[in-house]
């Protein structure tokens, strides 16, 4: 079951994160299809969707190469050991 927001009398019932059941990786679909629609109005662009996972991906690459897990940003590459 996928999490969803609920409304009561026109207001969101989950007023904070402790009331909202987040989707866990084990419950996520194995395949997700993403389609971009060409907007007729500004602003436009496709750069934003890729920004969020970049830091985690880079941290995983650094861990795979060095065995050191970076958990705080900005990454301090001078202290990799």
**Cis omega (within 30 of 0) for bond into 43:** yes
Q: Quote the tokens at residue 37.
A: 């629609």
Place of tokens 């389609």: 35
76: left (phi over 0), alpha (psi -120 to 50) or beta: beta
pLDDT of residue 9: 92
Kindly state the tokens that stand for 3.
């999490």
Sign of CA dihedral 9, 15, 18, 22: positive
pLDDT tens digit sequence for 60-69:
999 999 899 9
Tell which wins on pLDDT, 58 or 43.
58
């Amino acid at each position: 079951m996928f999490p969803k927001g609920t409304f009561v009398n026109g207001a969101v019932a989950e007023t904070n994160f402790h009331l909202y059941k987040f989707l866990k990786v084990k419950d996520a679909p194995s395949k997700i299809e993403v389609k971009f629609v060409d907007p007729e109005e500004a602003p436009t662009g496709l750069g934003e969707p890729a920004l969020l996972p970049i830091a985690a991906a880079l941290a995983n690459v650094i861990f795979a190469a060095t065995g050191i897990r970076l958990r705080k940003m900005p990454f301090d590459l001078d202290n990799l050991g």
